[in-house]
């Protein structure tokens, strides 16, 4: 049966649910695959952080360069 249209997942809800799974139900190979998937997600998240930090640094540099009193 489909979920009602008004039921929405909140940001990070699926990840939170995954952390509560009973790992005893998984075979070793399944746990290794899970670790590989989680490591890939960590790398993806770190990449997103780096992109956001670079964007913020570029914006900060732009606004600092144009601010009065910077000698430019």
Q: Report whether pLDDT(48) > 60.
A: yes
More confident site: 5 or 35 = 35
pLDDT of the residue at 5: 63
Global pTM value: 0.68
User: What DSSP line would sit under 10-69, residue for residue?
Assistant: PTTHHHHHHHTS-GGGS-HHHHHHHHHHHHHHHHHHHHHHHHHHHHHHHHHHHHHHTSTT
Domain residue ranges in the chain: 24-65
pLDDT, one tens digit per residue, over 25-47 is 999 999 999 999 999 999 999 99
Average pLDDT over residues 40-63: 93
What proportion of the chain, given as a percentage, has pLDDT over 90?
60
């Amino acid at each position: 049966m489909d979920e009602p249209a008004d039921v929405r997942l909140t940001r990070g809800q699926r990840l939170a649910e995954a952390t509560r799974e009973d790992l005893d139900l998984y075979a070793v190979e399944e746990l290794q695959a899970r670790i590989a998937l989680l490591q890939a997600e960590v790398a993806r998240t770190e990449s997103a952080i780096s992109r956001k930090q670079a964007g913020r640094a570029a914006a900060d540099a732009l606004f600092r360069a144009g601010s009065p009193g910077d000698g430019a």
